Chain A
């Protein structure tokens, strides 16, 4: 398996634009997590899914953020409209269960100017 795959790797966008980050989890993993990493706040859990259903989205900062998982092999994190303070590295991770190791994707570095 190729591991967790995220795209794009880097994105630079103007303030106000819509941003969509994509994630393909490891096949067979029932849990998918979206994290945001910044220097100031470290690694924060935004939302996670179990069997494609959002379980906890309390980490999503604002209504501008939304996440979907239409099927077991694909998830998106959308920011609309984007703001400069959204600039961060966004990681997607998947795991077979909540008690097993989470495997991280390579991350998407988002810069909003």
Chain B
């Protein structure tokens, strides 16, 4: 059974701190790893990672995939209260020429205190 595990489950930090969220996976036929941010509504897409060691960056957020360690991290620097959300990691698996869907972790609930 495919598994995606995120840690920590919950994190409370002060505004301005840097946080690192972890995602590890055990899947067959890995294709890509995705990060989503979920606030009160639906998840919104952050990053898709397919290659090991290449950092993707968007503003204060960055993420990198380590296929050898079967893991990924999501970094947020100079956190702001608006970064408070659940951060979801998902792994896309596939066999043959197509993808079979996404398996999500349970998420990390990040709270940024002013």
Contacts and interface: CB of A to CB of B under 8 A. Distances in A.
B68 interface: no
B98 interface: yes
A48 to B, nearest CB: 6
A4 B44 CA distance: 12
A101 B45 contact: yes
Nearest to B100: A56
A107 B41 contact: yes
Q: How large is the interface on A (under 10, 10 to 19, 20 to 34, 35 or more residues)?
A: 20 to 34
Nearest to B4: A42
How many interface residues does chain B have, given as a range?
A: 20 to 34
Contacts of B103: 45
B16 interface: no
A25 B48 CA distance: 21
Interface string A41-66: 11111001000000110010000000
A4 B103 CA distance: 20
Give the secondary structure class of B's interface: strand
Interface string A8-23: 0000000000000000
A42 B45 contact: no
Contacts of A45: 101-104
A42 B105 contact: yes
B42 A43 contact: no
Contact of B106 (A42, A93, A99, A102): A42
Contact of B104 (A44, A99, A106): A44
B29 to A, nearest CB: 13
Interface string B58-102: 000000000000000000000000000000101010100011111
A102 B101 CA distance: 11
Interface in A70-102: 91, 93, 98-99, 101-102
12 contacts: A33-B102, A42-B88, A43-B88, A43-B107, A45-B101, A45-B104, A48-B101, A56-B100, A93-B42, A98-B92, A101-B48, A107-B42
